[in-house]
Homo-oligomer: A and B are copies of this chain.
Amino acid sequence: MSSDASELLSIGQVAQASGLASSAIRYYERCGLIPSPARVGGKRRFETDVLFRLEMIQIGQEAGFSLEEVKTLLVGIGGGRRGPRALTKLAQEKLPEVRAGLERLKLLERVLKAAAECECPDLETCAQAMRRAGLVRSPRLGRKGLRRPGRRLG
């Protein structure tokens, strides 16, 4: 009565519009990244705002966040009734991480530029040049470096 069914999207339409596979959308639902939509005759009917959410998921993911991280980012968006302040806070918490990612990529860009222009006869010379340029750290053989134990990327 209140809202028109023509505003609601099938999973196929959402898949088409977002560029994701339907299986991925169902998976995101299971993981709680998008709210479980209403069913009509057993089939999902999505409100259009799910597309915005999916776009956020894709951006966050391509930027190197895990789905779990993206999820913590998204709980702020329309997740609770507590208004946009929750998102505000989370976004502020995430910004440093994003900026760290940016720094890593900028470093890689500089390294690649250096490599692209490099005239070094061998690897060791090249490494030394990059160390002099501050692009890579010098190896410290004697010290116990900060080991990140559960290092999972990928």
Contact = CB atoms under 8 A, between A and B. Distances in A.
A37 to B, nearest CB: 14
Contact of A141 (B13, B53, B148): B13
B104 A148 contact: no
Prevailing SS type, chain A contact patch: helix
Contacts of A116: 87-88, 91-92, 95
A153 B61 contact: yes
How many chain copies? 2
A29 interface: no
Interface in A12-45: 13, 16-19, 21
Interface string A43-63: 000001101110110011111
A84 B126 CA distance: 9
